[in-house]
Every structure is written in C-alpha cells, then in structure tokens.
Amino acid sequence: MSARKTDDGGIVVIGLGRFGSHLADSLTSLDHEVLAVDRSQERVQHWSERLDRVVQADASEEDVLRQLGVADFGRVVVALGASVEASVLTVLALTELGVPQIWARANSEKHAKILRSMGAHHVIFPEAETGERVAHLIVSKMLDFIEFGDDFAIAKVRVPDGMVGRPVRELAADRYGVQVIGAKLPGERFRYAEPDTVLEKESVLIVEGSNVQVQRFAALA
C-alpha cells in the first residue's frame, strides 16, 4: 500500500455509522492517513479490512483518546449521530486534549450550539445539506449543485440546445447572470472553458452565479 499523506497529523474519524464510515472510506481513497474509532465491535470488524486503522473504543473518555494517540492528529471528525450525549462528551474530551481542528456532526441547531460551546471548530449537518442539495436537483434541470452561502452557487448543467455548435464567447451567459467556468465535451474530460471552445451536443457546462441565476440558465437546456 502506498504511503499515506500525513500532513497536519492525519485525520481521526469517530463513529462508523453511515456518515462516518463513508467519510473514513473517502479520506482513505484520497490517500490520507485515517484512524477510525467506534464502540461497536461489529462495525470495527466490518471496516477493518477496508480501512488502515480501526479501533474499538469509547471515544468520550479523554484517557482513552490519549492512549490512542489522538492528540497527535491534526483533525478529528466526530461523526456520531445517534447519541447527542456521546458526541458532546467526545468533543469536550478532544478540546481537553487540545486537538487543533474538531469537526462535529449535529442533528439540530440546539445540538450544534452545544457542540460549539464545548469547543467544536466546525459543525456540519450532513442530512440537511444533502436534502437541500437534492431538492434543488429535483426541481430544476441541473445535473449537480453546490451552494456556498450568501446566495452563490456552482452548478453542472447541460448545454442549452440553442448554444450547440457555438463557441463559449458567443454564449452571452452573462446575460443570464452566470459565468461559464468549465466545459466537458462528449468523450473528453472537464476543462476550463476557453473562449474558443465550441460546444457540441451533450456537452456539459460548469457555471457560477446566484441560486436563481444558475437554475434559470439550466432551464434553457
């Protein structure tokens, strides 16, 4: 196996439920050093063949985290979802250890507020964020959508029929309030959109703008 990236001390993922396990697996695929921790022996056994380091332990105990060497890692993700108490106690223990970056999953705004007060640097809402993203995809013609807040988004859309066979410079996308920043022609990889790039049928564009603007542009397809 190739050497893992160990910048900033690697990453710890606490909780191997649906979200945590996929996160740990994705980080490992990106060639990062990952230490996964879960109370469940069944989950630990299941993921031990796929992840480099999987440990069965109660991560809400500071002494346990210290013994595992968690303090040597630069980033820790508390992916616990079923127990608010367990996630809060785990974040508190990580804070006591002085972990530089603590990411924590929250189930509600109240839960998030408690996690922040305990020392979490970043609070995430996986279900809410996924639900909002999927909602945008269902009610529009966008192929993918990422919202960055402050009414700014990037979307993947099909090239409108009326723009097939024309170079990017002639799209006049700014008329719709969006900017074309990437293009993928059939059979090719995504690339930066050059003014002379001629769009073929079935081409895909990456555009940026406000939520409403990118949805309106996508509706042209």
Extended strands (E) in 79-152: 101-105, 122-124, 144-147
Residue 192 lies in a domain: yes
* 195 pLDDT higher than 80: yes
Q: In terms of domains, do 64 and 98 share one? A: yes
Q: In terms of domains, do 80 and 185 share one? A: no
Whole-number pLDDT of residue 45: 93
Q: In terms of domains, do 161 and 110 share one? A: no
Q: In terms of domains, do 99 and 23 share one? A: yes
pTM of the model: 0.70
Q: In terms of domains, do 101 and 160 share one? A: no
* 178 pLDDT higher than 50: yes
Percent of the chain whose pLDDT exceeds 70: 93
Residue where the block lists tokens 């001629």:
198
Q: In terms of domains, do 14 and 117 share one? A: yes
Rounded to whole angstroms, the Cα distance separating 158 from 180 reads: 12
* 88 pLDDT higher than 80: yes
Residue 2 lies in a domain: no
Last residue of a domain, one of 86, 109, 124: 124
Q: In terms of domains, do 101 and 114 share one? A: yes
Amino acid sitting at position 202: E
Q: Return all residues near 114 (Cβ < 8 A) that are at least 6 apart.
A: 84, 88
125-149 per-position pLDDT tens digit? 888 777 777 777 777 788 898 888 7
Whole-number pLDDT of residue 172: 67
Reported confidence tier of residue 177, pLDDT bands at 50, 70, 90: confident
Q: In terms of domains, do 96 and 134 share one? A: no
Per-residue exposure over 126-149, b if at least 16 CB sit within 10 Å of its own CB, e if not: beeeeeebeebeeebebeebebee
Q: In terms of domains, do 153 and 76 share one? A: no
List the one residue out of 144, 163, 120 whose CA is nearest residue 206.
Answer: 144
39-78 per-position pLDDT tens digit? 999 999 999 988 989 999 999 999 999 999 999 999 999 9
* 5 pLDDT higher than 60: no
Which of 107-111, 112-116, 135-139, 161-165 is least confident?
Answer: 135-139
What is the extent of the structural domain holding 142?
A: 129-218
User: How many helices and strands (H and E) does the chain possess?
Assistant: 7, 11
Q: The tokens of 117 are what?
A: 């007060």
Q: In terms of domains, do 80 and 138 share one? A: no
* 24 pLDDT higher than 90: yes
* 109-118 vs 84-97: helix crossing angle, rounded to 10: 20
